[in-house]
Amino acid sequence: MSDTHAQTVAFVRDTQLPPSPPPASEVGLVGWLRANLFNGVWGTLLTLVSLYAIYAILAGVLPWIFNGVWTTKSLAECREVLDGVRGGCFSVLTERINQLLYGFKYPAAEYWRPNLALLLLFAAILPVLMYTLPRKLLIITALYPFVAYWLIWGGTIATPILVLVGFVIGYLVFQRLSTSSFAAGFFGAIIAAVVIWTAGGWLIPDGANANAWLRPVPSRDLGGFMLNMMLGVTCVSLSVPLGIVLALGRQSDMPIIKWICVVFIEFVRGVPLITLLFVASVMLAYFFPPDSNVDLFLRVVIMITMFSAAYIAEVIRGGLAALPRGQYEAADSLGLDYPQAMRLIILPQALKISIPGIVNVAVGLFKDTTLVSVISMFDLVGMIRGPILAAQEWNGVYWELLGFAAVLFFVVCYGISQYSQWLERQLATEHR
Amino acid sequence: MTTMTDPPQESFRLSMLLNDTRYRSYTFQFIALLALVASIAYLMSNMFANLREQGLFLSWAFLGEPAGYDINQRLIEYDSQMTHWRATVVGVLNTLLVAFLACVTATVLGVIAGVLRLSNNWLVSKLMSAYVEAFRNVPVLIWIIIIFTVMTAVMPAPRAFRGDEPDATMLLNLFAFTNRGIYIPAPVLSAPLMGSAAMGWLLIVVGLVGSFFGARALGTWAAAKQEATGDRPKTWYITLAIWFVPLIVLLTIMGLTWNIPELKGFNFAGGLNIRGSLIALWFALAIYTGAFIAENVRAGIQAISKGQTEAAASLGLRSGRIMNLVVLPQALRVIIPPLISQYLNITKNSSLAIAVGYMDITGTLGGITLNQTGRAIECVLLLMLFYLTISLLISAVMNVYNNSVKLKER
Amino acid sequence: MKKTVIFGALTAAGMAAGAAAAGTLDDVKARGTLNCGVATGLVGFATPDANGEWQGFDVAVCRAVAAAVLGDATAVEFVPTTGKTRFTALASGEIDMLARNTTWTFSRDVDLKFTFVGVNYYDGQGFMVPKDLGVSSAKDLDGATVCIQTGTTTELNLADFFRVNGISYDPVPIETNAEAQQQYLAGACDVYTTDASGLAATRAAFEAPNDHVLLPEIISKEPLGPLVRHGDNEWGDVVRWTLNALISAEELGITSANIAEMGAGTNNPEINRILGTEGTLGEMLGLDADWAMKAITAGGNYGEIFEKNIGESTPIGLARGLNAQWTDGGLLYSPPFR
């Protein structure tokens, strides 16, 4: 300590000065702008370039949207109304909205059915997505496929009910028998369900479909955005169980089962979806018995389900691998056998961490459903590229239609991916 | 493991097949194998029954027959009298070309967008988020069609370049941007060594490879010198010379001239024509996949703990150097595996060429050849085999890489 | 035949298991609808209108067959097919007949195992160019960019034509007619080539059809006709003679206006045989006696169908040309109903 201290200095401040406010250039709007927009020469330059890009985009798009024409009957009329002014002919959307959403064959009087099915979809999907909701609500999810099937295809209600009864009885049998052995329960359940379904076939009278309360609609009448939704929802929900089986198979100790799963997964992941759709459209028909005939819709569902199952299997495998080894060992030490350990300990945890990944696969798959337009199915893109652009009134309207399709997909996919990111944050338990 | 007292040997009972864990796995595998073989046999027998009913049979002979159609973009010699097999090879090369171009462009775009998304500049990072979200959430097929439509509807047709006061002019009289594609000057070797132009270009490639190794050796030498003496000798001008002197010498010897496109008849002639369909597919795939790569890059950078950046900053490095020297080298380990699977996606998505009439393998073998010969099963099988080979190759590369960068745990 | 419920559910969703080994005719009758493959959208030949009803020249053939077999011209399930999917759809039994302007060629008939039952339109491949290009012959097209709709015989004809004439071209393959139209109108190709009828139909949809000309060269023969699978001759006969009935009806002057009156009996025995008041032609086909009457009532005779869908009074404006009756110097010649 120096000795030039209190004695030699006349005055020592004994209280601290209040901190002076930061310079005006560092706080408030100006500070924010400096920090975030005009940070150095490069920052300023980047900001200016971005501002120009935004201006250019808005200057092109805004007048086009605001001058848009919504009520004409054809492109020629619309161009007359616009009279050289820059603007979109959105009237193609208003005139063809039903075709864009439902395809051109779905009976107009029945549009409420897919609409209702879509509404119910939200109710059914909520218990899966919000894992904090009571588990009992999952029953709604389990019932949904049967209700949706009945709503969309119509026909007699006896069919979905009997299929459902088959599943329920199968489940009950499984519950009873699986206490002694999983395998017995599993095969018993399959046998019971098949018995119910076969017996049920005799119960439904022959003409039941024709004079049912909901008019039957063949699946080739589905189209437009509804077809994309249907393919997406059906294939994802079918491929989750298949994906679980494949993932477990790939993790299995049994070499034959493991290799069957590995070959399947790697094969499907190695080829583009479009070649699988070619298989559906030109090849698969050869693999069915000579006298049967499987509709293109069903064939496409089979191929897309296989496709997404392989990807979902990889996601779930990641989830299985991410579980700490101790969980497996704990299950073993409790004396649980393999099915019990999987069902009670491993899968519930592994699936929970796989949900964001599965949602990502689902979004990708939903976008990929547009590829069916290549094999002459009239989904949203197929409707645009086919009947609407070929129609005399509307050939030459590209931006409005393609923009509409892009916006529709963006809204759905962005919504789902935001959910998935939220979920990822909820599930992230480690701290950084 | 040895035990002192072995349990008495049980005699084998049938129920042990189902209940004894030692045998159960054999039972299950046997059942699975049986089911697999049975279902494959069933499908095959159906197929042969169906084919027999129609009087058809599988045959690969069509691959040797003349194709009869023309292909507009061919990297190897091809005309309509050549075989379907040749047409298939042309398609394969076109697929590889567009996949390669799209991979390179997507990587550049993705890295730029991913880094800028983490930028301090609020506007830029928001703009990049908008780009990423807009492209990730709309099907790539729609993007391909949109970009193709932009190409055809917005760019001028070649006939706009005609006349005394044309509606469109060539850039610098060298480049023509039309709705059929972009025409750029093409380098031509007027006196290639060893006869053919292909050999000449090969020679140049060999020269470039030599330059690459030369430059690397120089770098190694400079680094060794720096280790030993503490000064790094200035080498940039030697590096430059190593790269350019052999190239210029070779090109001068072989007489490099430029073939400049000019409007002749219906089209531009001469020069290098980059087709509209190629551009649409290339850009759509690049921009779409670039958005995914940007996300991978961002995730990779964010995976590097904040402490690394702070440590680098406390050493006095500027933010650009922090990124280059500290963050990116570590982040690459996280970024590269998903990056390679994005390359795989590009290759698979390039099969959407069919939407814009780009003659890749889906357009030739899976398109016109299939239509003309009606050999659906054979064509689709061959198509799948091709993509499968490519993706297995890429996965193999990925595994090699993963093993080489794996953190060595000692 | 009873099936399990899950099978039934799949059936409603699109799986149909036909009765074993029955002919197509019996299948169609049992099903109550005719599955007919058509194009995905070609104005005048097959296109869904704003209400989703299929309209066109090929569609009319499907309707006539449905009327002949099932007595109901609306009992048709139209299956849109592309150039790629059409043959598999037919071969696999997804459709009962294909009426999708398909050219009758040797290899399709013999190698792909289909039976072309006749020709409903004699066509040929032509070229369309913008008038201001100043081209008057296809031989002047050296170096031109040509838009082709893929999946047809067009590519082969085109390659042959340019090869024979020793001139070069740049093919741009396009999947659908709508896209080819877009490319052509934007000037991304100089020429659009497809069947002359298709060109006329496409041009009719243009804003200014008169700015485009069809070149005089017709570079191929394209007999377009409906086809069925090989080996089901009964069904082939039904489709063949339905088409012939439409053609004969025009030749004999049976129209949708006077058919009711003629159906009561006339003094022309051939008309009586066609309309079923004389002889047992319907029975021989396995159909009702008035099968042809129903087929003709569905959309009129060949001439009426032609006029309504693609004739000179429509925007497409095709002249009869080769498709006139043989009595008028055309090629339409139905074998006698006897």
Domains of chain B, first to last: 53-166+275-294+334-409 (1.10.3720.10)
Question: A374 touching B, CB under 8 A?
Answer: yes
B265 contacts on C by Cβ (under 8 Å): 142-144
What integer pLDDT is reported at residue C8 of this predicted model?
55
pLDDT tens figures, A208-227: 666 677 888 877 788 889 89
DSSP C214: E
Q: How many other CB atoms are found less than 10 A from the CB of residue C110?
A: 11
pLDDT value at C244 more than 80: yes
pLDDT tens figures, A328-353: 889 889 888 888 888 888 888 888 88
pLDDT value at A101 more than 80: yes
Average pLDDT over residues C212-219: 88
**Residue C4 belongs to some domain of the structure:** no
**Residue C177 belongs to some domain of the structure:** yes
**Residue C6 belongs to some domain of the structure:** no
Surface of B (280-339) touching A: CB under 8 A: 305-306
pLDDT value at A307 more than 90: yes
B72, B156, B265 ranked by CB distance to C171: nearest: B72
C150, C156, C169 ranked by CB distance to B367: nearest: C150
A46, A269, A406 ranked by CB distance to B142: nearest: A406
Q: How far apart are CA C160 and CA C145, in angstroms?
A: 16
pLDDT band (50, 70, 90) for residue A408: very high
DSSP reduced 3-state for A210 = coil
pLDDT tens figures, B308-332: 888 999 998 887 788 888 888 888 8
What integer pLDDT is reported at residue A316 of this predicted model?
92
Are C143 and B55 an interchain contact pair (Cβ–Cβ within 8 Å)? no
**Residue C14 belongs to some domain of the structure:** no
Q: How far apart are CA A153 and CA A379, in angstroms?
A: 17
With contact defined as 3+ CB pairs under 8 Å, the chains touching A are: B, C
Domain end call among C187, C221, C255: C221
What are the C-alpha distances in Å from A397 to residues A87, B91, B281? Answer: 12, 32, 21
- CATH, residue C141: 3.40.190.10
B55, B359, B372 ranked by CB distance to C156: nearest: B372
Q: How many other CB atoms are found less than 10 A from the CB of residue A311?
A: 21
Give helix C5-13 / helix A138-153 axis angle, nearest 10°. 60
- Among chain C residues, the shortest Cα distance to B80 is held by C159
A402 contacts on B by Cβ (under 8 Å): 142, 145-146, 149
Average pLDDT over residues B262-280: 81
Are C234 and C324 found together in one domain? yes
C37 contacts on A by Cβ (under 8 Å): none
Residues paired with residue A155 on neighbouring β-strands, in sequence order: A214
Q: How many other CB atoms are found less than 10 A from the CB of residue C134?
A: 8
Distance from CA of C37 to the nearest CA of A (A): 12
Are C155 and B69 an interchain contact pair (Cβ–Cβ within 8 Å)? yes
Are C319 and C230 found together in one domain? yes
Which tops the pLDDT comparison, B10 or A191? A191
pTM, full prediction: 0.85
C84 contacts on A by Cβ (under 8 Å): 278, 281-282, 375
**What's the number of domains chain C is made of?**
2
A154 contacts on C by Cβ (under 8 Å): 12
Are C85 and A282 an interchain contact pair (Cβ–Cβ within 8 Å)? yes
CA B38 to centroid of chain Cα atoms: 39
**Residue C338 belongs to some domain of the structure:** no
- Amino acid, res. A41: V
Which secondary-structure segment (H or E) carries C227?
strand C227-229
A386 contacts on C by Cβ (under 8 Å): 40-41, 80, 176, 178
**Residue C288 belongs to some domain of the structure:** yes
Are B371 and C84 an interchain contact pair (Cβ–Cβ within 8 Å)? yes
Q: Where are the alpha helices (DSSP H) in chain C?
A: 5-13, 24-31, 57-70, 86-91, 106-110, 154-164, 177-185, 196-204, 233-252, 259-263, 269-275, 281-285, 291-299, 302-309
What's chain B's average pLDDT?
Answer: 83
Are C166 and C199 found together in one domain? yes
Domain end call among C221, C243, C273: C221
| Residue C106: domain span | 27-120+225-328
Buried b (16+ CB within 10 A) or exposed e, A380-393: bbbbbbbbbbbbbb
Q: How far apart are CA A357 and CA A424, in angstroms?
A: 9
**Residue C116 belongs to some domain of the structure:** yes
Are C186 and B265 an interchain contact pair (Cβ–Cβ within 8 Å)? no
Q: How buried is B4 (Cβ within 10 angstroms: 0-12 exposed, 13-18 middle, 19+ buried)?
A: exposed
Are C102 and C231 found together in one domain? yes
| CA distance between the termini of chain A | 43
pLDDT band (50, 70, 90) for residue C18: very low
Q: How far apart are CA B363 and CA B356, in angstroms?
A: 10
C145 contacts on B by Cβ (under 8 Å): 180, 266-267
Q: Which CATH class is domain A220-377?
A: mainly alpha
pLDDT tens figures, B283-306: 999 999 999 999 999 888 888 888
Residue of C2, C3, C6, C310 for testing the chain A interface, max A β-carbons within 10 Å: C6
Average pLDDT over residues C89-118: 86
Domain end call among C199, C221, C243: C221
Q: How far apart are CA B405 and CA B401, in angstroms?
A: 6
